[in-house]
Structure 1
Amino acid sequence: MSILYDSIFSSTSFFQSDAWIFSVYIIVTYEIVFWLCNSFLIYIELFDISSIDQYRIQKHKKKLRFQPDIIRLMIQQTIHNQISFVFLTPSLYYIFNYFGHVDIQGVRPLWSTILFQIGLFILSEDTIFFWTHYLLHTPWLYKHIHKKHHVYKQPTGVTAVLSDPIEGIVTQFAVWFMPVLLKETHIFTLCLWVTIRVYQTVIAHSGYDLPYISTQYWLPELMPGALAHDFHHQHGKWSYGSFFSIWDQLMGTHRLSTSKTATK
C-alpha cells in the first residue's frame, strides 16, 4: 500500500515540478511547429495548386502521390516519433540540470544573450550533423541504419521522422549537445531553438523551393536548405549539411538540386 502511495505522490510531485513545465513547453512548441508546417505540406500534396506546384523541385519527375504503403509507413513512423519524443523529453530536463541549469520560471534573458546562444546551437548542430550524416553514408552504416530515411526519393515534411532508432539518438545528440554543454540556459531560448530546428528540418524535406519562407531564397549558397537536401534524397549522397553548406564545400560534397541550378 505504501509503495502505491509513494508512486502516486511522486507522480503528483512531477506534475507540479519544473520538469513538468519544461516538458510541456518543449513538447507543445515542437508539436505546434511540426504540425503547422506539415499540415500545409500535406495539403499541397493532396491538392494540385498551380501557384505552389511551380516551386516543386523535382518537376522533371511525376509527382509522388500518397499511396497506401507511403501513408502507412508515414503514420507508423510519425506515431513512433511522437510517442518517443513525449516520453523522452522529461529525461532531457534532468540531463540539463546534471550538467548545468535550465531556468524555467526566471526572467527572459537579453536578446543579445538569446541570439548568441542560438548561434552557438546552430553552429554546433550543423557540425555534428554533417559528420555523423557523412558517416551514416558509409556502406555498412547506410545499409543497416540510414537507408530507412532514404525510402522516398521525393521527400515531404513528415518523411523527416523516418529513421532508425540509433539514427534518432544521433540526431538528438546533435540538436542538444551545445544547449546541454552551456551551464545556464533559459526555457524561452530552448523553445526558440526547437522552433528553428523543427522548421528547418521540415522545410528541408518539403520538396519545394518556396520563396521568402525558406533559407535558400535568401542565401542559396550558404544555407541551401531544400535545394541541397532534396538533391541528397534524389541521389542518396552529397549535400550532408544541416543549416549551412560550409562543411560540404570544404569536403567537396556540395550539390544543389534542380529548380534553380538545373536551368542555369
Structure 2
Amino acid sequence: MTVETRVSDPRGAAKTSSRQEGPGGIWDSVKKTVVVIGSGILFLAAFSNSLTWHLQRFWGASGDFWQNLWTKLFVMFEGHDATLFYLGTMLLPTLAFWGSNGLLLLVDTTGKPSFIARYRIQVDKNSPVDPAKLSHAVRNVIFNQVFISMPMVVAVYYLMSLRGNPCGPELPTFHWALMELAMFSILEEIMFYYSHRLFHSPSLYKHFHKQHHEWTAPIGIVSIYAHPLEHVISNMLPVVLGPVILGSHLSTTSMWYCLAFISTTISHCGYHLPFLPSPEFHDFHHLKFNQCFGVFGVLDRLHGTDTKFRQTKQYERHTLLTSLTPLNESVPDTPKKGQ
C-alpha cells in the first residue's frame, strides 16, 4: 500500500517520507526489518537442503581434499595457532585487497587497458586519477590497515580463543559454513547501515565521515580511506563481529574477510564491469551523499533512503552486466533540455 501511495499521490509520498524521518518512522522501519530478516532466516533454514543440494555434491566430492590440505597446515603450525590465525586473517585478506586494487589502479592511473575504461560509471571523472590525491589516500589506507585493522584482528583472536580453538583440526561442514556466511552478511548489513547513517549526521560527518566523501567519484582503494574512528566502527566492526559471535573456524573467517575486502573494493571501484556485482548503488551514494547507506540495499528500501536512487538511470543500470556493452551505452543518460 505504501508503494502505491507514493506513486499515485505525490503529496502522500511527501507525507510518508516525512514520517519515515521522524522517530516513529524509524522505529516502524526497524520492526519491518526484523520481520523481513527473520522471515529470510526461517526460509533459509526450511529450504537449505534443496537450495544447497548441487553445491553440497561438489563439497562432498572435494571435501577430503580441503580437509587433507587443512590437516597439513594444522600439523605444520601445531603449537603456533596464533601465527596460523594471523596468516589467514591478515595476510590472505591483505593480498586479496591489494591484488584486486593493484589491477584497478593500473587502469585508474594509465587508462589502460582502454576497454576497461569504457565501463567507468562517472565517465568524466578520474581520467586519470589525481596522483597527489591518490598518494594521500594510499598512505591513509596503509595506516588504517597496519595500526587499526591488525590490532583489531589480534583482539579478535583472543576473544575467539575464549570460546575454543578457532584453528581446530576439523573444518566446518558445508551447510554450517554457508549458514555462517549468510549470518555474517545479515549482521554486516545491519551494522554498516546504521553506523554509516550515523556518521552522516551533521556533527559526525563534519569531523569524521567527510574525509571518505572527498572522493565523489570513488576508486577501489578508497573503500577503506577513512578517519580511524570510522574505520573501527563502520568498516571493521560490521565485518569482524560475526565470526566472534559465532565462534567461527579460521577457514570461514578468512574466507569472509577476503570476500568483504573484494566486495567493498567492487562497490567503490568506479567501473561497472561484466559479470561482477553492480557498484552503481554505492557509487550513487558517493555522488549524492544522502542516499544508499547500506550494503545490499535491504535497509535502504525499508527506511526509504533509496527513493531518489530508484528514480534515476543509475538504478536502471544497477544490475548484473551479462554482455560486453557498457551499461552507460545501452542505458544512456536522459538528454538534457536543449541538447
With the shorter chain as reference, the TM-score category is: 0.7 to 0.9
Identity across matched positions, percent = 28
- State the SS of the aligned residue for 1:215: coil
CA-atom RMSD in angstroms: 2.0
Give the corresponding residue for 1:117.
180
Change (3 A) 1:27 1:104: same
1:260 aligns with 2:317: yes
Comparing both chains, which one has the higher relative contact order based on Cα–Cα distances under 8 Å and sequence gaps of 6 or more? 1
Length, aligned pairs only: 236
Which amino acid counterpart does residue 140 of structure 1 have in structure 2? S
In structure 2, what is the Cα distance between the partners aligned to 1:197 and 1:260? Answer: 23
The structure with more radius of gyration = 2
- State the SS of the aligned residue for 2:90: helix
Which amino acid counterpart does residue 77 of structure 1 have in structure 2? N
Which amino acid counterpart does residue 283 of structure 2 have in structure 1? D
Change (3 A) 1:143 1:102: farther
- State the SS of the aligned residue for 2:86: helix
Is the Cα–Cα contact under 8 Å of residues 125 and 217 in structure 2 kept in the other structure? no
Give the corresponding residue for 2:116.
52
Give the C-alpha shift of residue 33 in structure 1.
Answer: 0.6
Give the corresponding residue for 2:284.
231
Give the C-alpha shift of residue 86 in structure 1.
Answer: 3.1
Q: Deviations over 1:74-129 (max 9, x none)?
A: 2211220231233442222002223x234314121111110000100000111110
**Structure 2 length normalisation: TM-score?**
0.65
In structure 2, what is the Cα distance between the partners aligned to 1:68 and 1:44? Answer: 13
Greater CA drift, 81-90 or 128-137: 81-90
Which amino acid counterpart does residue 303 of structure 2 have in structure 1? M
Give the corresponding residue for 1:6.
none
Give the corresponding residue for 1:194.
257
**Structure 1 length normalisation: TM-score?**
0.83
Q: Which runs of 5+ in 2 are unaligned?
A: 1-77, 319-330, 334-339
Give the corresponding residue for 1:156.
219
Give the corresponding residue for 1:136.
199
In structure 1, what is the Cα distance between the partners aligned to 2:297 and 2:152? Answer: 31
In structure 1, what is the Cα distance between the partners aligned to 2:79 and 2:250? Answer: 17
Written as runs of structure 1 = structure 2, the 5 A alignment for 1:73-152 is 73-84=136-147, 85-98=149-162, 100-152=163-215
Give the C-alpha shift of residue 62 in structure 1.
Answer: 4.0
Say which of 290, 299, 315 aligns to 1:247.
299
Q: Which runs of 5+ in 1 are unaligned?
A: 1-14, 217-225
- State the SS of the aligned residue for 1:63: coil
In structure 2, what is the Cα distance between the partners aligned to 1:199 and 1:172? Answer: 14
Give the corresponding residue for 1:215.
277
